[in-house]
Structure formats: structure tokens, C-alpha cells
Amino acid sequence: MFGHVNNVQFVRYYESGRLDYFHRLLDVSTGPDVHNSLIIADIHVTFLRQIHHPCALEVGSRISRLGKSSFDFEAALFAPDDETPYSTARAACVWFNYRENHSAPIPPSARAIIQQFEGIES
């Protein structure tokens, strides 16, 4: 109606980037038989400029902080060949045990992969 993409879509774009990141880097499983995976505990989106439809977009993503059972996941939305983001986001992600309904430590193998990929020291 206003000639731009609705703000709720930004969160969906970030979700696509996050899922792609996790599947490529950590091979995170999904489905009803999964007992340990990730949840979003908190997300903040900063809207910097409008996205006009149609528009090709790229999501840049990284993990910037690793805790015992949580980490910060940062992302930004860009148009191809444009270094100025449309938006930025930061999500607090928690490794979660669905069976016991509480947070769980990030598995050592996942921690090692993230540390190596992102250059993070704990």
C-alpha cells in the first residue's frame, strides 16, 4: 500500500539468513524428533531505510558472542552491490532442550565449529 516492504517481512528475511547459516555451518536438524536445537530468546531490528518491492536482497550473518548456552547472532540486509544496509538485527539465540524444556550447553562440537568459522575465542 505504501510502496515498501512491510516491517514484519524483515524478521522473515533474517530468519531465512539464520536458518541458512545454521544448516550450512552446523547442520542443525529440524522436525518433531529433534530434542536439542536453537530458539530465539530476544530479537531487535533496526530499520535504516525502506525496501521497495521488488528488490533482490542479501542477508549478511555472523555470530558475535558465544556464552555457555547462548550466543548473539547479528545480521544485516543489503541489496546486491550496495554496502549500505537496509536494516540490522541482533538476536539472542539459546541452545534448548525441548524434552526437558530448558536451556542446554552449546555442544562442544558446535562451539568449536563456530569459534573456528567466526574467529571467536571463549
pTM: 0.86
User: What does the alpha-carbon distance between residue 53 and residue 6 come to, in Å, rounded to a whole number?
Assistant: 10
Question: Where do the domains of the chain lie, and which CATH numbers do they carry?
Answer: 7-118 (3.10.129.10)
Model confidence over 54-70: pLDDT tens digits? 889 999 999 999 999 99
Tell me how far CA of residue 114 lies from CA of 25, 39, 86, in angstroms.
8, 17, 26
Model confidence over 79-103: pLDDT tens digits? 999 999 999 999 999 999 988 999 9
Model confidence over 26-51: pLDDT tens digits? 876 665 666 778 899 999 999 999 98
Torsion of Cα atoms, 13 then 15 then 16 then 19, to 10°:
160
